[in-house]
Structure formats: C-alpha cells, structure tokens
Copies of this chain bind each other. A is one copy, B any other.
C-alpha cells in the first residue's frame, strides 16, 4: 500500500460512542472514515462499514494510519510514544504526540501547567507511602490520589484518609500516584474548543457540569458562572491549547474553589460535556473536530437557544433496555435522544439526552427525566421492542 493514496480522509482510533457520533458528522460532510475499534467497539461495529477490530498496538496503528489521510483518537488509551513513531513515518496524526503526552498523563499535565503559570491545585507525584505521608502532613487529610494514566469516569481516583489507604491505590496505579488536597469544589465547568493546525481556535460557550460519584451526570449552558470567571476560564483554555499545541477538540475541565478557577484535567478529543452541541449548537463538537483535524474552516459554536442541557443515560443494571423505553422518553416531548448501542451494565453511560429551552435548570430537569426513563431497569411485563410484528 506504500505508494497508494489513503483510503479514508479520517481514521479514528477507538470505536466507542465518541467515534460513533464523529462518524455521524462525517457522513454529513461527505468525509470518508475508518475506525480502529478496540475489542469491544459496540457503538460502531455493525453500524458503520469501515470498522477494524483489535487493540491499538503499534503494528495496528502503523497499518491503520497508513490508510488514513489523518489519524485521530476518541480515547486516551494510546501510548504517545507510538504516536511519535507514526509521526516519524510522516503520518498526519492529530492531535500529535506532544499533546497526547500531556493529555494521557495527569502528573505530566499538572507539572506542565504549573510551570506555565496556569492555576492548578497543590500537587505531588508519590512513588511510595512515604511520599503520601509527607503530602498529607503538609496539606491535611483526606487527600485525593489519582492514577496518572488510564482513569476515567471516577475510575483511578481514590479518597485517601490515612497513608495506609494509599497502598492498594499505588499498586493499582502502577506505582505512581498524583496527590492533591481534597478540595471544596463550588462548581465545575468545562471549556471546549476546536483548534486548527494553523492555530485558529473557536470556543463553545462555557458548560457547567454536574458529577455524581465521579461520573458526569448533567451538563448545562449557560454555566451560571459570573461573566468575569467565564472569560477567565476561556482564557485558561486558550492557554492550554497553545501550550499543548492541540489540534481538534480540546476540553479543559475546571473547578471553582474559593471563588477561583483551577484546572482539573484536559481531554484532547470530543468530550462528554459538549454532547449537547449536536442538537443545541450551530456546529457540533464532532463536526468541528473533523473540520479541525482536516484543517477546514471551523463552524460557529453559538447555541441555537437561550439555554440547553444534557443528561447522560446511565444504565441501572443489565436489564436496562433503552430501546424499549423510547416511547415513554419521546413522549416527554422536545427531547433529543442519543443511544450508543452499548450493552447495559450498572452505572454505564449508554446514551444521552439533550434539551433546548429558555432556562438551563428546566432543560436539565427535562433531560434528566428522559435519561432516567431510558436508564431504568427493564421489565419483562413490558415488550422489549416496539413494533415487532406478529410473525416475529
């Protein structure tokens, strides 16, 4: 294949819901795509034509990126050193290894942001219980310990009351922990932006996120933050974009602590906090991710309504059957349902619901009501599908 033109405009590493929604946007733009799904990949496998299965080993990444004009990612489960190899082969990988090195390692991220003068919490990288004792002595207990790599949706984060509690965490995190004081978080927001290789940036309205047990439950816009803080949050996000040299969507999660902003973490890919942009913004984050990695003009990020909200559909248990709950959810009216085709497991994100309106809290209440119906336990008393004809 060496001398051939690539078979796809964009290759996406990862076959989950972020790839699924990016592919929907690609269909509109007429952009051809391929997916390197992991070993699950349910949201894209069997739905889109060009889905390759298998873990993203360097061999697979090399073969995959060779067939794609641009390669991008929907998750952080990739080794930046592998991406560097691809770059050495002249492949267009967006975001690149420099961005991914910071996005995939929370400890490296903290250090780089602190050095750049961005507001971050007090932190230390612990390699032993002695380090944990020292940090706790300095900043008080409990403290928060995070696995620098691979954690998401509350996984890889531990509240540590006593130094001994850090022992299993250290083991689970591979011998390295990012330590921070337990913060009294007043609000949590995300700034999501798209950046082209040229450096041109467009930014979505600041999004307020509501987490439960480490999992994003609800997002709403406007954020409710004072305008000055919103402007500051956007400024920080732009600094992060420049610092990391990100291309594509970049999400910067921030905490408000003591009335001031601090950077929590970043994601260099489409982000759960901006799913509402599909229905509520002029251009969705997924379309803007594609436009950015292809170096196409970016689309407007304004909301189409005074307010919007999104609620994640979290499966209650394995009996959850969102498809069967569609009649009740859609009957609520003006709800935009997105299901991901994932097998239900307790607490698993299997979809989301977006609602537009005049007030973000009303929109959030409506979105949550629909999401709760879709995530509810299934019942054998209800038919699991609509419209199954008699012959089935």
Query: Which A residues form the contact surface with B (CB < 8 A)?
Result: 4-6, 9, 20, 23-24, 27-32, 45-51, 69-70, 89-92, 282, 291, 293-297, 299-300, 304-305, 322-323, 326-327, 330-331, 333-334, 336-341, 351, 356, 385-392
Contact = CB atoms under 8 A, between A and B. Distances in A.
Contacts of A351: 30
A148 B340 CA distance: 43
A288 to B, nearest CB: 11
Contact of A27 (B47, B89, B389): B47
A27 B24 CA distance: 8
A384 to B, nearest CB: 10
Nearest to A304: B304
A122 to B, nearest CB: 42
Chain A interface, DSSP helix/strand/loop, else mixed: loop
Given A48-B47, A69-B385, A392-B69, A297 B331 contact: yes
A32 B42 CA distance: 12
Contacts of A297: 327, 330-331, 333
A5 B339 contact: no
Given A90-B389, A297-B331, A299-B334, 11 more contacts: A5-B388, A23-B27, A28-B337, A30-B338, A49-B49, A69-B392, A89-B391, A90-B390, A294-B386, A296-B330, A304-B304
Nearest to A4: B392
B90 A9 contact: no
A322 B28 CA distance: 12
B339 A29 contact: yes
B47 A46 contact: no
A47 B27 CA distance: 8
A331 B291 CA distance: 11
A30 B340 contact: yes
Contacts of A330: 291, 296-297, 299
29 contacts: A5-B388, A6-B392, A9-B385, A9-B387, A24-B27, A24-B28, A27-B47, A29-B337, A30-B338, A30-B339, A30-B340, A30-B341, A32-B341, A45-B49, A47-B49, A48-B49, A69-B385, A69-B387, A69-B392, A70-B387, A70-B389, A89-B391, A92-B387, A296-B326, A296-B386, A297-B327, A299-B333, A300-B333, A304-B305
B91 A30 contact: no
A91 B389 contact: yes
A356 B303 CA distance: 13
Nearest to A26: B47
Contacts of A28: 24, 336-339
B386 A295 contact: yes
Contacts of A50: 46
Contacts of A92: 387, 389
Contacts of A51: 49
Given A24-B27, A28-B339, A322-B30, A91 B391 contact: yes
Given A28-B337, A304-B305, A341-B30, A294 B69 contact: no
